[in-house]
Amino acid sequence: MSQEDFYTTLGVTRTSEHWLIQLRYRTLMRRYHPDAGIEPDTARAQRINEAYDVLGDPQKRRRYDAQRATHTPARPERTSAPARTQKSKQRASVPPENVLVHRPRFSERAILWWLVAFYFTIAALLYLTR
């Protein structure tokens, strides 16, 4: 088992349901698959597969959670906050790769047609109320 946390590899929380883990796995594999991915990355795809192999199976996930509960490493204490540079401010505005990005439900063309229909409906109502 690698040192990296499987939940952070897939970008989900410990309380995430199976369908969300599966959705996130598929999204990441579409992005990083070595043969068909948008940004092919073999090492990352292997880590994602390993994480889904454990988190996708309920029994393996329970064992993994139990093992994590008994082997929680101590957090190092910070003496002061790190100084933020201009470069780190720019990176903070870009969403991290493990955050789900929601796509709009409607295309721009569909929204345009709805606006045209709305305009004609309002015009017809104004004409009829004269």
Judge residue 37's burial from the number of C-beta atoms within 10 Å of its C-beta, 0-12 exposed, 13-18 middle, 19 or more buried. Answer: middle
Judge residue 29's burial from the number of C-beta atoms within 10 Å of its C-beta, 0-12 exposed, 13-18 middle, 19 or more buried. Answer: middle
At residue 120, the pLDDT reads: 94
- CATH architecture of the domain with range 6-72: Orthogonal Bundle (1.10)
At residue 2, the pLDDT reads: 46
Q: What is the pTM assigned to this prediction?
A: 0.53
Contact, 22 vs 34, CB < 8 A? no
CA distance to 17, 28, 30, per residue, from 22 (Å): 9, 10, 12
In this predicted model, what pLDDT tens digit does every residue of 60-112 receive, in sequence order? 999 999 988 887 665 555 555 555 555 555 554 555 565 655 566 667 788 88
Domain ranges of the chain: 6-72
At residue 37, the pLDDT reads: 77
